Amino acid sequence: MIKRYSTAETDGLFSEVGKMTRWLEIELCVVEELANAGIVPQEAAAACRANAPVIDEAFVSRVEEREAITNHDVAAFVDVVQQAIGAPHATWIHYGLTSTDVVDTGLCWALRDVCQLIDTAITGLASAIADIAEKHRHTAMIGRTHGIHAEPTTFGAKMALFGLQVLRDRERMRRAAEAISVCKLSGAVGTYSNITPQVEERVAARLRLLAVPATQVIARDRHAEYLYACASLGTTLETIAVELRHMQRTELNEVREGFAPGQKGSSAMPHKRNPISSETITGLSRVLRGNANVGLQDVPLWHERDISHSSAERIVLPDSSSLALYMTRRMTRIISQLEVDEANMQRNLNALHGVVFSQSVLLAMVEQGMSRDDAYRIVQSAAKTAMETKASLRDVLAADPTVTLSASQLDTAFDLSRVLQFAGRGIDALRASI
C-alpha cells in the first residue's frame, strides 16, 4: 500500500522482515515438533533454534540475492536459513514441507493479526458513533428519501443506524478471522506423506491457528471471505461518508468535517471547506470492492494447486488490510471531530412550512372516518398550497372546510415530540451491542 494510506502495523506485518520472521518461526516449530515426535534429533532441533538467524533487512537482502539464482523465494529463504544455522543440524530445516506449507500458514497468521487490529478499530468507531448519537438523541432534523424532505427524524437516530451497521461488519470480520486463522503442513498435495497430522496440530496450537485439511494450498474461499469482510466494511464507511458529504453541502450545511488550524480547503479559493476525508473514504472503498472481486477469482485453482492466485494476493491482501484499518481509523476521526449545526438542522426541518407532517394529518383524518384516498387528496392539495404560498400547512388545513379535524387534533398531528418519541430505539440498541 502507498504510504499515504498505510498504517505502521500493517506495514510491519506485510513487510519482508515480518513475513520471513513468521516463516522462520514456522520452520523452527516444525523441527521442534518433529523432534518431540522422535523423527528429528533433539540436539538438532535445539541447535536450529539457538543458531537461527536474526530476520532483518540484511537477512532479507541475502534472500533476495539468493532468489536471483533460485528464482524461488521460499527455496532461497531456506538456503539462507540453513547457511546461517550450519551443517549438520540445518539439514532438518524444511524437512517434509512444501513451500506453501510455510507461505500459506504464515499468510494466515498475518491475516489473523490484521483482523484483530481491524476489530479493535471497528469497536472504537462504533463507540465514537454511539457517543455522537447519544449527544444528539433529541436533535431533530429532516429525514430525506430520494433526496426529498420526508418526515422528521433525529441526528442521533441517523448515526445510531450507521453504528449498528458498523457492528454487523465487526461480526463479518470476526467470522472471516475464524475462517482465515488456519494452518496447513500436510505437504505437496495435502496427504501428510512426510509430516503427520499430529505434528501439524501441535505446530498449529503453538501458532494459535487451527490445523485444517487442504491440498497443497489452503482453500482460497477463506481469503475471499476476508476480502469480502474488508469490502463490506469499506462500503459501510462509504455509506456514512456519502451521507456526511451530502449534509455538508452549502445548501444544507448541517454538519462539517473538522478543520484544523492552518488547514486550507482549496489552493485557489480561501473560503472553501471541503469534506475531503469523506471523499477519500468514498474513493478507497472502490478499491476494497475491486480487491474482493480479485479474491473471488482466486478461489478456483487447477487440481491440487497452481499459482495464479499468488501474484494477485501479494497485492490485494496487504492493500485491503491496510485500507480497512486506515479507513476505519480515519472515519473515527471524522466522527470524533464532526461539527453538528443544530440551528441549520432546525431551519431545514421547517423549510417547507410543516408539510413534513402530512402523513400524520392523513392518518388523523382516516381515523375520523374519511376514506384514505379522499384524505390523501385533501392533504396533498393543502401541502401544495402551503409550499407555493409559504403558509403553514396547519393554517391551510384549519381554513379548509373539508378538513374535519379539531384544533387539538391538528396540534397532535403536528406534535414533533409525538413523531420522534421512539426515535431513540436505535441508539439504545447500539449502546447495548458495543
Contact 424, 156 (CB under 8 A): yes
Amino acid in the structure at residue 236:
T
Beta strands in 206-303 (DSSP E): 210-211, 255-256
Q: How many CB atoms lie within 10 A of CB 411?
A: 12
User: Residue 332: which H helix or E strand, with range?
Assistant: helix 308-336
Give the separation between CA 361 and CA 384, rounded to whole angstroms.
14
- With H, G, I as helix, E, B as strand and everything else as coil, classify residue 262: coil
Give the separation between CA 147 and CA 51, rounded to whole angstroms.
67
What is the C-alpha end-to-end distance of the chain, expressed in Å? 30
Nearest CA to 429 out of 175, 137, 141, 230 is that of 137
> Which residue has cell 533433539?
42
> Which residue has cell 469499506?
234
Residue 87 backbone class (left: φ over 0; alpha: ψ -120 to 50; beta: rest): beta
Distances (CA, A) of 278 to 61, 333, 409: 40, 11, 43
298 CB-near residues (< 8 Å, 6+ apart): 220, 223, 224, 308, 309, 312, 313
Q: Which of 146, 267, 271, 303 is catalytic?
A: 146
Q: Which of 61, 72, 193, 266 is catalytic?
A: 266
- C-alpha atoms less than 13 angstroms from C-alpha of 294 in its C-beta half-sphere: 21
Contact 30, 195 (CB under 8 A): yes
Query: Annotated catalytic, 266?
Result: yes
Grid coordinates standing for 239? 455509506
| Strand 255-256 relative to strand 210-211, pairing | unpaired
Contact 433, 164 (CB under 8 A): yes
Give the separation between CA 273 and CA 266, rounded to whole angstroms.
7
> Which residue has cell 476476508?
226
Query: Annotated catalytic, 321?
Result: no
Active site residues: 146, 266
